[in-house]
Amino acid sequence: MFFSLTQLSGLALALTVTTTALAQSQPASTPQAPLPATTATVAPQTKALATKLVLVLSERRVYAYQENKVLASFPVAVGKKGWETPTGNFQVIQMTKDPVWENPWNGKKIPASLNGPIGVRWIGFWSDGKNTIGFHGTPKKHEYLLGQAVSHGCVRMRNPDVVALFELVQPGTPVIVTQKK
């Protein structure tokens, strides 16, 4: 592949901006572990936004659709007995990068991290005015729980997967939660 001098200058500028942004986004005092490879099924080089998310509880999987085409699908963990993930038609109501989790029982706040209880992204889709349920990351040591009903209603995902899903949605994106497809 050949690049003109103008193309190479633009490429060098893009690389400089990207590496500068990366350097600024990660404090030198807290090294970050590399994200593990994703198990998601994602269409290559897709920049399209999802027109809806479909969470199939029996499959323990979320699908991101654009119209009738699946853009991506990811394995998840869902709410356990007595704390079931609600079914119905919802929409994305919150999107947070690096969310801080507040323990509902003792009020302790835990900052976002790959090993934190809600990982590095939050996509809320249900609320009763006090509590909110959404998609979020899970610590690597708990990834073995994906595919099970183990949460307090939220939808747990691998951190790389919830980051990918975060890039596919925006506030207002419909979220359909159903028992079966």
Residues designated as active site: 136, 154
How many alpha carbons fall within 13 Å on the CB side of residue 177?
A: 21
Distance CA 31, CA 116 (A): 15
CA distance 166 to 9: 31
Q: How far apart are CA 156 and CA 52, in angstroms?
A: 18
d(CA 154, CA 142): 14
| Backbone phi, psi, residue 108, to 5° | -65, 135
**Given CA atoms 57, 58, 64, 66 in this order, what sign does their dihedral have?**
negative
- Asked if residue 147 lies in contact with residue 161, where contact means CB atoms within 8 angstroms, the answer is no
